[in-house]
Copies of this chain bind each other. A is one copy, B any other.
């Protein structure tokens, strides 16, 4: 039914990630009354979060204030608030401090990381979803080198210089490549007691190859590039335990505990809590990861005015596996739903959503990436240039991020990292310093003092 003009159709969008933001932008000229609700006041360009974690970029370089992005859309409001539930009968969402009515609801609250039921690992193996996550990873990575510089026990020092990354997907691959460049290039002159080239980087993947969703040829090329960078890849390997100073892995029958002070989690994801609420209130089905299974038009079977898009949605083209949780899917879903709501109100027919898969990309490091353009797959420098172009293109869409190009250019030519500061919770290292400025273990055992005087 078409609404009378005096009360415009109310669209509420929950979540300002790629899916929600692209839906909001596509509704700019709809004449609807659009409200975008997010816990944070900024949109985060998540594909580059690993560069914040590894000291290349600052959070602001990949964040855009939602209000600034949407401030010219007169029909759109931004609310900073947390959505905790919904009432599909009353057509309301419930916020922590209030509620909000909708005619059409678009939920795009995404996913968080998942420790396969070992939530205590979160303490010792941070994931990479938020700005805070990235700064915590950065803090741990750079503190590990500081601790290694102070450590005198060769065993312990080795553990400080061992970085284990759980998960061989794009994030894990990109983290491994970036840490390799840090250790083997950026930091190589910075320390006096350690040789950062002794750093060990383990990339642990459960499947038989890294980048499983990609073409096997590209997985092989990515593996080759990473190994050339100095990364040790362990496939068909599961992380069975993580503690403060070791990671336990199982490869077939063979179980091994590797001393490592820095374990980074790039493995599983779990749907955000909104998934639960939607299932309870609407009877929608969830998949094993808690994502909401949606209709071909991305709506719910029982509520055609509620749409789930982005990582939170589980949608499969016919006899096909669920669409991957990547930005292009989210963007296209956002635009599709915005279009669909407008067509519906005009009584026009709508076709099911189809993801147009242009390319899969992953960067391995300086001059190295893999690109799958379907009709052609390749890796190396040219792939890296495509990766660069695509990311810059989407990054500058919200137009305050040209600075990133500059930062990258600078880093590329100087091999420097601008964003290496260790901030947040003061964490002073626990090792001792003796009167010669040499370090000793807190045991106070002066036998194993390393001298740094040349």
Q: Which residues of A contact B (CB under 8 A)?
A: 10, 12, 33, 35, 39-42, 58-61, 63, 65, 67-68, 71-72, 74, 77, 79-82, 92, 95-101, 131-132, 135, 142, 146, 150, 187, 189-192, 399-403, 406-407, 410, 414, 416-424, 426, 428-437, 439-440, 442, 452-454
Contacts and interface: CB of A to CB of B under 8 A. Distances in A.
Contacts of A101: 435-437
B95 A418 contact: no
Nearest to A444: B98
Contacts of A423: 59, 131-132, 135
Contacts of A401: 418
Given A61-B58, A82-B428, A400 B421 contact: no
A192 B35 CA distance: 11
Nearest to A74: B454
Contacts of A81: 428-429, 433
A292 B410 CA distance: 42
Contact of A402 (B100, B400, B410, B429): B410
B418 A403 contact: yes
A100 B150 CA distance: 14
A432 B96 CA distance: 8
Nearest to A407: B403
A147 B432 CA distance: 47
Contact of A59 (B58, B100, B436, B453): B58
Contacts of A191: 67
A67 to B, nearest CB: 4
Contact of A421 (B33, B59, B406, B426): B59
A453 B75 CA distance: 9
Nearest to A405: B406
Given A68-B416, A71-B190, A430-B97, A437 B41 contact: no
Contacts of A453: 33
